[in-house]
Amino acid sequence: MQRPEPRPLLSCAFIQRTGDAPIKTTDGKALAERLWLQGSLEDSTQDGMFRFEGTTIGGGRNALTSGNVWLDSNGGVRGMAVYASHADFGSEELTIATLNGDGHLDPDPLTAYLFINPPEKLIHPADYVCSVNRR
């Protein structure tokens, strides 16, 4: 019997840009200026899209996180839309997504937006870097 191929592991670091106002949870607490995303990727039926399951870590908070990540032909991250469970980030979930200037999902290998309140989704850009380990 052939073993299933191991799932690729994703690790990302997000650093909010200097001088930007901190992201506030609905209970008024500021999120950390740096967040980490760690977990596994599962191939989907769409070319280059992977299902992500893992954890967002930052400011002493951990949250279960899931969503989609898009990889380029070299295996680098070119976009994402992932959602951290609301249990550790206030009464609403934290979204981490690559967006265009109109706030729509769009590939961007350098900038992601972090938000809790969708009308404020373009207020908190963060530089990010990811690595994918295919073991």
Q: What is the DSSP string of 37-101?
A: EEEEEEE-SSTTEEEEEEEEEETTEEEEEEEEEEE-TTS-EEEEEEEE-TTSSSSS-EEEE-B-T
129 part of a folded domain? yes
pTM of the model: 0.89
23 part of a folded domain? yes
Residues of the chain with pLDDT under 70: 1-5, 45, 86-91, 135
Domain that holds residue 128: 9-27+34-133
- What Rg do the C-alpha atoms of the chain give, in angstroms? 15
pLDDT tens, 82-96? 999 865 665 578 899
pLDDT at 109: 95
pLDDT at 48: 87
CATH number reported for the structural domain that contains residue 15 in this entry: 2.40.128
40 part of a folded domain? yes
With b for 16 or more beta-carbon neighbours within 10 A and e for fewer, the 7-20 pattern comes to: bbebebbbebeeee
Structural domains in the chain (count): 1
